[in-house]
A and B are shown apart, each in its own frame.
Chain A
Amino acid sequence: MLSNIDSLMHGFGVALSGYHIMLMMGGVLLGILVGVLPGLGAPNGVTLLLPLTFGMDPVSAIILLTSLYWGALFGGSTTSILFNIPGEPSSVATTFDGYPMARQGRATEALTCAFLSAGFGALVGVIVITLLSTAVANFALRFGPPEYFAVYLLAFASFIAFGGGTPLKTIISLCLGFGLGMVGIDTVSGNMRLTFDFDQLVRGISFLVVVIGLFGLGELLLTIEEGPEFKGASGRIDPREMFRTMGRMPRYWLAMLRGSAVGVWMGITPGGPTAASFMSYGIARRVSRNRANFGKGEPEGVIAPETADHSAGTAAMLPMLSLGIPGSATAAVMLGGLMIWGLNPGPMLFIEQHDFVWGMIASMYLGNVVGVVLVLATVPLFAAMLSISFSIIGPIIVTVCMVGAYTVASSPFDLWIALVFGAVGYAMKKLDYPLAPLILAMVIGDKAEDAFRQSMLSSNGSLSIFWSNWLVGAITTLAILFLLWPLTMLLRRPAQTTDPDAATHAP
């Protein structure tokens, strides 16, 4: 561990130069841009920059690309908060409380909260990488199909068990998500499922298109119904509000630590940032002192998913470098870059490319600080967008949604899917169906099914494989305890009345 700190200091020596700080700023700004636009993501930015990096030395190149990645992670939260449109899948959970805050005229507070907790989460992630670099990589190797399944089950259990909404409607939302995720080719059997020989369904139903419809368009319809103008948009943008929020942040230290812990866990295990943000939100909603206020504009509801998302995103860089497995499409393109720069990702990278690895880790510290500062500087700009009249910004958001839906698979058919889900989202909100279970089931449902069936292939159909060693046994047992939690609650309090008048919009 001590030698790691020595290496880190050496890394700072490599990374800290005016040229590199410039690269970081450029990368972060470009990242914010691609993160903000729903049609673009970090992979687009990385592919754009990759050719530029061939002439650079590898340390500079990776600094540029990772900074872009941080920027995109920050930018993804912006549209979630301002317009209820998640720019990236991992910022869906940020909409649950971020958007209500913006509607109450607290956009500045929500954005500041999101960026600061994101920076905090990323920092925790880097510290874990610094201290535990090789141990973490070896730990990641212990995950086979049963462990994957157990991790998904845990993420799922901790979100659902702590959720709101009536049980029946939660089940419907959940199963709709599972069903949508199943469309397309089935990895394990190689069969087409639920495509009905329809060419457009072969690639499956895209998660992002559904989210753009359910959240973006659905929310626009709700907004327009209530009145022609954005409510709460009248609130003046006050830069001092940003500093006041900064001052309040230490109060949320527990929420930030909890979110980061969940994120680091999901980043090291194969759970990933999206599942991490949901899991963190679910746990926070259960244990926070302000739990009653969740879903109605609670800062902790922004802090929980943001810290988890970023610490998971950061911690996930480690398996990528040391094992050569890309955790995301962005990582995959970066891995391609590594090879073009003449580096081979894998266990030897840490030994053979000492300067590169530690320069990169050091740049993660610096890049995140640069990122938080730059993204905070954009807060007044983005908050100002809310004061544009809805009769102009509304249609523009619609076109942004449509462009985003199209770019996911360059398919005109997806525009129709987004429209349909816009109507579905509107109806679900009106009828108090929770949307979040649908999204979570869609994100991890098919992965969990694959892992489950791969495990069954190994064990010849015996479920005992989920208790075959202490690691998988512990995670599975914990997940089942979480799932049973609401049942015990029901036993204690048998009659849970369904009151349609209640205006609680469970996320």
Chain B
Amino acid sequence: MTRYHLELVFAAVVFLVGAIGVYGATALDFGWGADGPQAGFFPFRVGLILMAASALVMAQAVASRGSLRRIPVTDHEGMKRVLGFGLPIIAMVALAQWTGLYVAMALYLFFTICFRGKRPWHVALGVALGVSIATFLIFEIWFQVPLLKGPLEIMLGLG
């Protein structure tokens, strides 16, 4: 992926966000009433500015595509590392939605440290359990801040 493509993709996303904002604002009164600006006044204009500015960024990118195309965002190795690091996080978040945060983070820590970090399994297990249990003690017990819990905690009578 080159800088040129990333510029276009990001600007397109911003354009879309702006359009959604404008759409959302039109559901409200977006004028300037007798008592000043109404609820939709600022969202509407911010959305328009986002659309205009991102369109300009796209135009700029197209204009200088010759030079931008030569700049890689990242090399192949870098991309692999980013994905290798990012995808397990996505997996953890997805898993956390039903197993709860403690189980998901323990599994995530164990697998990333063991397989991606290439550490001995007992180190990975120690870190995974240590961090999860410390988090549980600090948040749940000490500060009484409940974290996301799943079937396991409920089974153990902790949730």
Of the candidates A189, A389, A399, A500, which one forms a contact with B39 in the assembled complex, judged by CB atoms under 8 Å apart? Answer: A189
Provide the bound-state CA to CA distance between A394 and B85, in Å.
9
Within the complex, the shortest CB–CB distance from B73 to chain A, in Å, comes to 6
Q: Which chain B residue shows the least CB distance to A419?
A: B93
| Inter-chain contact total with CB atoms closer than 8 Å | 188
Q: Is the CB of A412 within 8 A of B64?
A: no
Provide the bound-state CA to CA distance between A220 and B88, in Å.
13
Q: Is the CB of B81 within 8 A of A224?
A: yes
Q: Which chain A residue shows the least CB distance to B90?
A: A419
Q: Is the CB of A220 within 8 A of B108?
A: no
Q: Is the CB of A178 within 8 A of B57?
A: no
Q: Is the CB of B101 within 8 A of A403?
A: yes
Q: Is the CB of A406 within 8 A of B6?
A: no
Q: Is the CB of B36 within 8 A of A178?
A: no
Residue A196 lies at the interface, judged by CB distance under 8 Å to chain B: yes
Within the complex, the shortest CB–CB distance from B155 to chain A, in Å, comes to 19
Q: Is the CB of B57 within 8 A of A169?
A: yes
Which secondary structure dominates chain A's binding surface?
A: helix
- Residue interface mask A259-293, B partner, CB < 8 A = 1: 00000000000000000000000000000000000
Chain A residues in 8 Å Cβ range of B146 = 410
Chain B residues in 8 Å Cβ range of A461 = 32-36
Q: Which chain A residue shows the least CB distance to B75?
A: A225
Of the candidates A178, A392, A402, which one forms a contact with B93 in the assembled complex, judged by CB atoms under 8 Å apart? Answer: A402
Q: Is the CB of B109 within 8 A of A457?
A: no
Within the complex, the shortest CB–CB distance from B148 to chain A, in Å, comes to 6
Within the complex, the shortest CB–CB distance from B141 to chain A, in Å, comes to 11
Provide the bound-state CA to CA distance between A396 and B141, in Å.
20
Q: Is the CB of A431 within 8 A of B10?
A: yes
Q: Is the CB of B43 within 8 A of A182?
A: yes
Residue A501 lies at the interface, judged by CB distance under 8 Å to chain B: yes
Given contacts A193-B43, A431-B6, contact A176 B50 (CB under 8 A): yes
Q: Is the CB of A168 within 8 A of B53?
A: yes
Q: Which chain B residue shows the least CB distance to A172?
A: B53
Given contacts A48-B142, A191-B39, contact A396 B147 (CB under 8 A): no
Chain A residues in 8 Å Cβ range of B7 = 431
Q: Which of B39, B49, B118 lies at the interface centre, i.e. has the most chain A CB atoms within 10 A of its CB? A: B39
Q: Is the CB of A407 within 8 A of B42?
A: no
- Residue interface mask B106-120, A partner, CB < 8 A = 1: 001100110011110
Chain B residues in 8 Å Cβ range of A220 = 85
Interface residues of B in 125-159 (CB under 8 A from A): 127, 131, 135, 138-139, 142-148
Provide the bound-state CA to CA distance between A471 and B154, in Å.
58
Pick from A32-40, A93-101, A154-162, A303-311 the stretch touching chain B: A32-40
Provide the bound-state CA to CA distance between A452 and B33, in Å.
14
Q: Is the CB of A391 within 8 A of B116?
A: yes
- Residue interface mask B48-67, A partner, CB < 8 A = 1: 01100110110010001001
Q: Is the CB of A179 within 8 A of B74?
A: no
Given contacts A391-B118, A427-B6, A460-B34, contact A171 B139 (CB under 8 A): no
Residue A398 lies at the interface, judged by CB distance under 8 Å to chain B: yes
Interface residues of A in 188-231 (CB under 8 A from B): 188-189, 191, 193-194, 196, 217, 220-221, 224-228
Chain B residues in 8 Å Cβ range of A196 = 24
Q: Is the CB of B71 within 8 A of A500?
A: yes
Q: Is the CB of A453 within 8 A of B67?
A: no
Of the candidates A394, A403, A433, which one forms a contact with B147 in the assembled complex, judged by CB atoms under 8 Å apart? Answer: A403
Provide the bound-state CA to CA distance between A178 and B118, in Å.
43
Chain B residues in 8 Å Cβ range of A449 = 42
Q: Is the CB of B81 within 8 A of A392?
A: no
Provide the bound-state CA to CA distance between A172 and B67, in Å.
23
Within the complex, the shortest CB–CB distance from A395 to chain B, in Å, comes to 5
Provide the bound-state CA to CA distance between A134 and B84, in Å.
59
Q: Which of B33, B119, B139 lies at the interface centre, i.e. has the most chain A CB atoms within 10 A of its CB? A: B139
Given contacts A396-B127, A452-B37, contact A406 B109 (CB under 8 A): no
Q: Is the CB of B143 within 8 A of A34?
A: yes
Within the complex, the shortest CB–CB distance from A283 to chain B, in Å, comes to 26
Q: Which chain A residue shows the least CB distance to B110?
A: A395
Chain A residues in 8 Å Cβ range of B78 = 225-226
Chain A residues in 8 Å Cβ range of B148 = 406, 410, 412
Question: Can you show 23 pairs from A to B with CB atoms below 8 A apart?
Answer: A168-B57, A171-B49, A175-B49, A224-B85, A225-B74, A391-B113, A392-B119, A394-B85, A394-B112, A395-B117, A399-B131, A402-B105, A403-B105, A403-B139, A415-B96, A416-B93, A419-B89, A419-B93, A422-B89, A428-B10, A456-B35, A457-B36, A500-B67
Additional A-B contacts beyond A172-B50, A500-B3 (13; CB < 8 A): A44-B143, A168-B56, A171-B49, A175-B53, A193-B40, A220-B85, A225-B81, A398-B89, A398-B92, A406-B148, A428-B10, A452-B37, A461-B33
7 smallest CB-CB distances across A and B, nearest first, come from A456-B36, A391-B117, A189-B39, A194-B24, A225-B78, A399-B105, A224-B85
Q: Which residues of B contact A (CB under 8 A)?
A: 3, 6-7, 10, 14, 17-18, 20-21, 24-25, 28, 32-40, 42-43, 46-47, 49-50, 53-54, 56-57, 60, 64, 67-68, 71, 73-74, 78-79, 81-82, 84-86, 89-90, 92-93, 96-97, 101, 105, 108-109, 112-113, 116-119, 123, 127, 131, 135, 138-139, 142-148
